[in-house]
Structure 1
Amino acid sequence: MKYMLIMRTTDDAAQESFENIDLDEIVEAMGRFNAEMIDAGVLVAAEGLDDAEQGVVVDYSAETPVVTDGPYGETKELFGGFWILDVASIEEATEWARRIPMAGPGMKTEIRRVTSIDELPQDNEWVQRERAWREATGQL
């Protein structure tokens, strides 16, 4: 099963963390952690995200979607990056999450199972098209 570990932090916690630590230390700590997951054979993907001020939000609350530049006012937590792990259970994913460097007050990791295309109705034309695309690109 695949699980996504989603790093979340408050603005204050992110600012405090990055003020008190050298970028080389962050890269080193994350690199060691990622290497452990690679060596264990569980890492599928991992990415960090640019600062929220560089992003936009598309809000679908109105009939015409509204695009707003970051930062996203009134947001209490921001999504900072993710890992996708291929592990046997949510418990195993949780054990990896407990070892994430850069953890501290105001920082959280949300763990969610990534659903599989096999869980969708296989007789659906769009599922069949996606399956064919995944097979053609080596994703299945």
Structure 2
Amino acid sequence: MRVMIFVKATEDSEKGFVRTPQTDAMMEAMGRFNDELIAAGVLLDGDGLKPSSAAKRVAFDGASRTVIDGPFDNPRDLVAGFWLWEVKDMEEAVAWVKRCPNPMFGPSEIEIRPIYEAADLQG
């Protein structure tokens, strides 16, 4: 099964990446974790996202389209990064996330969402 792993944003991540010894150590730990995911055949893709100040949203209403410039409110409702994994089941995905280094300097959350497969959409 494929799952999308969302690293939720924080107030700090919305400030943008600043290189410090602390961020270097975090990136090294995350790199080692990514290497484990690759070695296990789990990691399909993943990356960090720039803060929402660099983002745009397009709001749809019928034929109308409205572009909304970032930054966006409620950082904890935003995504700071993602992985796409291939795992045998949700339990395996949870087990991998529990092994992940904390992706932020304080409290943080990671969300796991299963991806629809073709079989899920067939009647």
Normalized per residue, the structure richer in helix is: 1
Q: Which moved more, 1:80-89 or 1:61-70?
A: 61-70
- Alpha-carbon distance in structure 2 between the residues aligned to 1:45 and 1:76: 23
Q: Normalising by the residue count of structure 2, what TM-score does the alignment of the two structures yield? A: 0.79
Q: CA separation of 1:34/1:63 partners in 2, compared to 1, >3 Å: closer, same or farther?
A: same
Shift, 1:85, TM fit: 1.2
1:48 aligns with 2:48: yes
Which has the higher Rg, Structure 1 or Structure 2?
Answer: 1
The answer as to 2:120 corresponding to 1:119 is yes
Change (3 A) 1:13 1:53: closer
Residues 64 and 31 of structure 1: CA distance in aligned 2, closer, same or farther (over 3 Å): same
Does the alignment pair 1:80 with 2:80?
Answer: yes
- Per-residue deviation at 1:116? 1.3
Partner of 1:100: 100
Matching of residues 1-140 of structure 1 within 5 Å: 1-12=1-12, 15=15, 22-60=22-60, 64-74=64-74, 76-101=76-101, 102-103=103-104, 105-121=106-122
RMSD (Å) for aligned C-alpha atoms: 2.7
Q: TM-score, normalised by structure 1?
A: 0.71
Structure 1 gaps of 5+ residues are 123-140
Deviations 1:33-70 (A, max 9, x none): 10011111111111111121111111225762221111
- Among all aligned residue pairs of Structure 1 and Structure 2, give the percentage whose two residues are the same amino acid: 33
Distance 1:60 1:11, change over 3 A: farther
Higher relative contact order (CA 8 A, sep 6+): 2
